[in-house]
């Protein structure tokens, strides 16, 4: 909003705009704090001051600390940023596109479709190299192949659900369709597992727990590149998403080319969900919980505000979950998907019960 527009706007709108700006700045600070804490916490205790010195490029008191921070924990924290922002934006786009508050990458089968693509590379290829802890063994070419297979699986499921949504107008029925698609892809993967070698199944099971620790070096570059493209497409779709919130017919009357907007949203969502699932495994509840949490905090349906807000809330939530997954003070590290689910379900319940209804955000 320009200075002239700000001066002409009603006081209530000015106050709401300032409150949203304050929330975005506070969330950015929370992400920065979570980023440093995520690097500081782990089985090896490293003082917070030493972490900050290493991140600023200064010499470390202990060379081992510098290695741990730069080679292990910094890539993991950067992966958490990509995963949290990507899944949150992916879920926000799906909820708007389907005008369904229960839509999300894991609920409507995108995560399962991406998992099917990973299983095709991992089990049918016979390499077992795509497991969460074996991603380091892949070359850059292999990681691109993994992303391509997972994105294709997610896009296939998304296209199928979209095609069915044209015939089914009931949101509950559409949700059941997504769950059935997830069941079918899960059954196909189960058949693959049944006829695969035990060592391949072990790698696949490790991948299904979800982990941020296997993405380092060139694979982090590949993940960051794909997530950046996906987020760029999403931010470019902010105005079409606002128009689609009013319904396709109304959006069409406003001059929006609905088919082109839908294709861009599907491509963005498939890239984000596919790449993140390929490298980090299925991570539940971030995609469905964060959009509701963001709407509750910012109290707006404008995607020009919601998209950066969802990025920040998703990144902060994922960094916080990764800190908890490391169980500070112990040598145990819990699977990330378990922690996000334990935190995500109460968050969704709290938002729904606090606002009594979430339908107003989609009308």
Domain count, the chain: 1
Higher-confidence residue of 164 and 309: namely 309
Whether 351 shows a pLDDT value over 70: the answer reads: no
**Over the stretch 177-188, which tens digit does the pLDDT of each residue have?**
777 888 888 888
Asked whether residue 300 is domain-assigned, the answer is yes
pLDDT of residue 306: 95
State whether the Cα torsion 355-357-359-360 is positive or negative. negative
Give the domain extent around 204: 29-354
State whether the Cα torsion 10-14-19-23 is positive or negative. positive
Asked whether residue 180 is domain-assigned, the answer is yes
pLDDT of residue 156: 82
User: What residues contact 23, with CB distance under 8 A and at least 6 apart?
Assistant: 297, 298, 309
Q: Looking up tokens 């070698």, which residue turns up?
A: 197
Please count the CA atoms within 13 angstroms of the CA of 272 that sit on its side-chain side: 36
Higher-confidence residue of 217 and 46: namely 46
Determine whether 127 is exposed, middle or buried from the number of CB atoms within 10 Å of its CB (0-12, 13-18, 19+): middle
pLDDT of residue 283: 86
- Asked if 156 and 84 count as a contact pair (C-beta separation under 8 A), the reply is no
Asked whether residue 295 is domain-assigned, the answer is yes
> What is the rounded distance in angstroms from the CA atom of residue 356 to the CA atom of residue 363?
15
Asked whether residue 131 is domain-assigned, the answer is yes
Asked whether residue 22 is domain-assigned, the answer is no
Three-state SS for 80?
Answer: helix
Asked whether residue 21 is domain-assigned, the answer is no
Asked whether residue 139 is domain-assigned, the answer is yes
Start-to-end CA distance of the chain, whole Å, equals 24
CA distances from 159 to 62, 155, 251, 263, 340 (A): 52, 6, 21, 9, 27
Average pLDDT over residues 192-203: 74
Find, among 274, 357, 288, 342, the residue nearest to 88 by Cα. 288
Average pLDDT over residues 282-291: 86
Hey, what are 88's tokens? 């949150």
Asked whether residue 120 is domain-assigned, the answer is yes
Q: What CATH number corresponds to the domain at position 38?
A: 1.10.3470.10
Lowest mean pLDDT segment, chosen from 272-276, 289-293, 300-304, 359-363: 359-363
Whether 168 shows a pLDDT value over 70: the answer reads: no
Whether 96 shows a pLDDT value over 80: the answer reads: yes
- The reported pTM is 0.83
The pLDDT mean for the chain works out to 81
Whether 111 shows a pLDDT value over 90: the answer reads: no
pLDDT of residue 129: 46
**Over the stretch 295-331, which tens digit does the pLDDT of each residue have?**
888 988 899 999 999 999 999 999 999 988 887 667 7
**Over the stretch 120-158, which tens digit does the pLDDT of each residue have?**
777 665 544 444 445 555 555 556 777 778 888 887 887
């Amino acid at each position: 909003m320009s200075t002239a527009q700000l001066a002409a706007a009603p006081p209530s709108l000015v106050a709401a705009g300032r409150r949203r700006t304050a929330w975005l700045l506070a969330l950015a600070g929370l992400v920065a704090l979570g980023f440093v804490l995520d690097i500081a916490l782990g089985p090896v205790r490293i003082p917070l001051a030493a972490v900050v010195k290493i991140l600023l490029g200064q010499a470390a008191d202990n060379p081992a600390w510098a290695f741990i921070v730069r080679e292990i924990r910094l890539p993991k924290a950067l992966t958490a940023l990509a995963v949290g922002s990507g899944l949150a934006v992916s879920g926000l786009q799906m909820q708007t596109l389907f005008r369904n508050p229960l839509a999300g990458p894991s609920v409507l089968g995108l995560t399962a479709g991406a998992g099917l693509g990973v299983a095709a590379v991992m089990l049918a290829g016979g390499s077992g190299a795509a497991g969460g802890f074996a991603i380091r063994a892949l070359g850059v070419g292999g990681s691109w192949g993994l992303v391509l297979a997972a994105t294709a699986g997610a896009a296939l499921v998304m296209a199928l659900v979209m095609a069915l949504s044209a015939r089914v107008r009931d949101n509950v029925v559409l949700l059941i369709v997504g769950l059935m698609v997830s069941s079918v892809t899960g059954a196909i993967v189960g058949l693959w597992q049944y006829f695969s070698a035990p060592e391949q199944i072990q790698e696949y099971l490790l991948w299904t727990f979800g982990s941020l620790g296997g993405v380092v070096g060139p694979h982090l570059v590949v993940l960051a590149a794909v997530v950046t493209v996906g987020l760029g497409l999403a931010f470019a779709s902010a105005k079409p998403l606002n128009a689609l919130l009013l319904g396709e017919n109304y959006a069409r009357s406003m001059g929006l080319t609905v088919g082109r907007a839908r294709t861009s949203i599907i491509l963005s969502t498939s890239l984000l969900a596919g790449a993140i699932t390929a490298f980090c495994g299925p991570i539940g509840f971030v995609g469905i919980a964060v959009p509701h949490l963001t709407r509750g905090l910012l109290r707006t349906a404008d995607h020009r505000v919601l998209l950066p807000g969802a990025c920040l809330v998703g990144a902060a939530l994922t960094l916080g979950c990764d800190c908890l997954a490391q169980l500070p003070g112990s040598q145990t590290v819990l699977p990330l998907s378990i922690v996000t689910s334990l935190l995500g379900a109460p968050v969704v319940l709290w938002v729904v019960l606090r606002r009594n209804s979430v339908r107003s955000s989609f009308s």
